[in-house]
Amino acid sequence: MANVLVVAEAAEGKLKKTTHSAVTFARTAAQALGGTYSILVIGSDLAGAVDEAKALGADKVLVADDASLKNYVAERYAPTVAAVAKGYAVVVGTASAYGKDLLARVAGKLDAGYASDVTDVLTDGGLKYKRPMFAGNAFGVVAINTPIQIVSVRQSAFAAAEPSGGASAVESVAVVAPGAGASRLEFVSFDQVKSERPELTEAKVVVAGGRALKERFNDILDPLADTLGAALGASRAACDAGYAPSDLQVGQTGKVVAPPLYFAIGISGAIQHLAGMKNSKVIVAINKDADAPIFQVADYGLVADLFQAVPELVKQVKAAKAS
């Protein structure tokens, strides 16, 4: 038996889009193994998430729905994920904050090898995985030498799986009681940052700003993001200085994005920032320092004072879209 298990990520009763990238990986891996893939949906109040998962072409959708799983903590999820994983050759999730936290703990429980943040799967002669290292300045090709292989995939490297038509069979799985670690852990709160904009990791356009924007971060960037229907992003320096919330950070810490169009505005282009955005299809950089490293990865660089260039850009993009 060489099948693949996708560990879904659900929130507020819905499947998060991260799941769809893991499903894309699973389709490739299952085909290479000559097996099938199933999706484990774990949490509480999952009816909506299960309905979405059913349409993704899995052999089975396995459901662990329990009130004790309402607020995610790895200590409560890992035992059930590990128990279900025992029937599979490869277990995959997405390297979101959730996936990175949970899957490593599952690997520990199963004494299994774990490859994180995988960007490609090589199927020639057994599965191997390509993963970025050194902030994306090198890639390693790894093999996992344990009977169960645990993998997290980089969301931006695997296109979201489309529904395949049909409906998978749904099965309930038993929730496994957690260990002593869980009883010493209390979930206190989740302070959510609400935004009307698209998710940073899913947006077609990202408008990201750096420290140069100062207190005018939103004042300058909001109109451009509104005009383009873009998500807002930020450099570490802008987040550290308090100009942008840390949830917007793009880079080695923060989100890794690869949208069709990325604007880097007043961002110098530190290695840690480039690690989070340099696979974007078209990169535009606006910076008044002509020697800023961001220009080395930008397709279109504009050396200009952003406080004048961005409002002008908004005006002209509006005109271009209208024509």
Partner 1 sequence: MKILVPLKRVADPDNANKVKIPASGATIETTGLEWKPNPFDEYALEAALRLTEDGKTPKVRAGEVVVVTFGPKETETTLRAALATGADRAIRVDTTDDKLDGSLVARALKTLVEREKPDLVVMGKQAVDGDSNQVGQILAELLDWPMATFAATLKEEAGAVLVGREVDGGVITLRAKLPAIVTVDLRIVAPTSVYSMKTAPAFKYNDGVRFAALPAIMAAKKKPLAEVKLADLAADQGLKVTYHAFQAPPARKAGIKVKDVTDLVNRLKNEAKAL
Closer to partner 1 by CB, 61 or 207: give it: 207
Amino acid symbol at 11: A
Q: Which lies closer to partner 1 via its Cβ, residue 73 or residue 170?
A: 73
Which tokens sit at 69?
A: 């799983």
Q: Considering beta carbons, is residue 26 or 298 the nearer one to partner 1?
A: 298
Among 25, 114, 158, 243, binds partner 1 (CB under 8 A): 114
Q: Provide the β-strand partners of residue 286.
A: 265, 302
Task: Tell whether residue 186 is a contact of partner 1 (CB under 8 A).
Answer: yes
What's the sign of the alpha-carbon dihedral 97, 229, 224, 301? Answer: positive
Residue 68 within binding range of partner 1, rule CB under 8 A: no
CA distance 107 to 188: 26
Work out whether 317 is an interface residue with partner 1 (CB under 8 A): yes
For partner 1, the binding residue among 213, 236, 258, 264 (CB under 8 A) is 236
Comparison of 45 and 204: residue with beta carbon closer to partner 1: 204
Q: What is the secondary structure of 221-258 as a DSSP string?
A: HHHHHHHHTPEEEE-HHHHHTTSS-GGGBBSSSSB---
**Residue 74 contacts partner 1 per CB under 8 A:** yes
Give the orientation angle of helix 74-85 with respect to helix 97-110, to 10 degrees: 60
Interface segment toward partner 1; rule CB under 8 A; list 19-27, 32-40, 59-67, 134-142:
134-142
Q: What is the dihedral of CA 135, 152, 90, 148, to 10 degrees?
A: 80
Q: Kindly state the tokens that stand for 192.
A: 């959510």
For residue 218, give every residue at least 6 positions away whose Cβ sits within 8 Å of its Cβ, in sequence order, or none: none
10 Å CB burial of residue 169 (0-12, 13-18, 19+) is exposed
Judged by beta carbon, residue 55 or residue 318, the one nearer partner 1 is 318
Q: To the nearest whole angstrom, how small is the minimum distance from the Cβ of residue 81 to partner 1?
A: 11
Q: Identify the residue among 87, 172, 219, 300 touching partner 1 (CB under 8 A).
A: 300
Give the 3-state secondary structure of residue 279.
Answer: coil
By the rule CB under 8 A, 160 interacts with partner 1: no
Bridge partners for 5 per DSSP: 38, 91
Choice between 16 and 27, CB closer to partner 1: 16
Piece of 30-38, 44-52, 158-166, 310-318 that binds partner 1 (CB under 8 A): 310-318
Residues in 7-36 that interact with partner 1 by CB under 8 A:
11
Residue 307 CB, nearest approach to partner 1 (Å): 13
Residue 58 or 115 having the CB closest to partner 1: 115
The reply to whether 313 sits near partner 1 by the rule CB under 8 A is yes
